[in-house]
């Protein structure tokens, strides 16, 4: 079956530091890949997505590239802010399905 493995947290960074959260997946065929973010006290919201190999998703300074050869979708941001403190979830949906499989989530705390 499908599965998503994320880098374990928590991750604590200083403002303007570089952030990377690793995500690898197991799926049949060509899944779509997503990063969702959950800010404190809120529900999840889509941060970015990529729907085919070598696609790069980007939003709010975050980027992730769909690497089929390494089955990875690592999230990066060059300079984090305190407002980026949140839980980040990597997720996938199989090409023949619309249901999501989520990773365990990575808690990121950015200190001023």
Partner 1 sequence: NAGVTQTPKFRILKIGQSMTLQCTQDMNHNYMYWYRQDPGMGLKLIYYSVGAGITDKGEVPNGYNVSRSTTEDFPLRLELAAPSQTSVYFCASSSASGISTDTQYFGPGTRLTVL
**What is the closest distance, in whole angstroms, from the C-beta atom of residue 45 to partner 1 in the complex?**
7
Is 37 a binding residue for partner 1 by CB under 8 A? The answer is no
76 or 94: whose CB is closer to partner 1? Answer: 94
Is 93 a binding residue for partner 1 by CB under 8 A? The answer is yes
32 or 73: whose CB is closer to partner 1? Answer: 32
In the numeric block, which tokens belong to residue 12? Answer: 């604590």
How far, in Å, CA of 36 to CA of 88, rounded? Answer: 6
- 10 preceded by cis ω (within 30°)? yes
For 30, other C-beta atoms within 10 Å of its C-beta total: 14
- Beta-ladder partners of 110: 13
Q: Give contact residues for partner 1 (rule: CB under 8 A).
A: 4, 31-32, 34, 36, 41-46, 49, 51, 89, 91, 93-105
């Amino acid at each position: 079956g499908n599965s998503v493995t994320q880098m374990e947290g928590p991750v604590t960074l200083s403002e303007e530091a570089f952030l990377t959260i690793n995500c690898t997946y197991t799926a049949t065929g060509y899944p779509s890949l997503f990063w969702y973010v959950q800010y404190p006290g809120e529900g999840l919201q889509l941060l970015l997505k990529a729907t085919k190999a070598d696609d790069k998703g980007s939003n709010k300074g975050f980027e992730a590239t769909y690497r089929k050869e390494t089955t990875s979708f690592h999230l990066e941001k060059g300079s984090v802010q305190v407002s980026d403190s949140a839980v980040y979830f990597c997720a996938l949906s199989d090409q023949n399905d619309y249901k999501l499989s989520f990773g365990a989530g990575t808690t990121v705390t950015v200190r001023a």
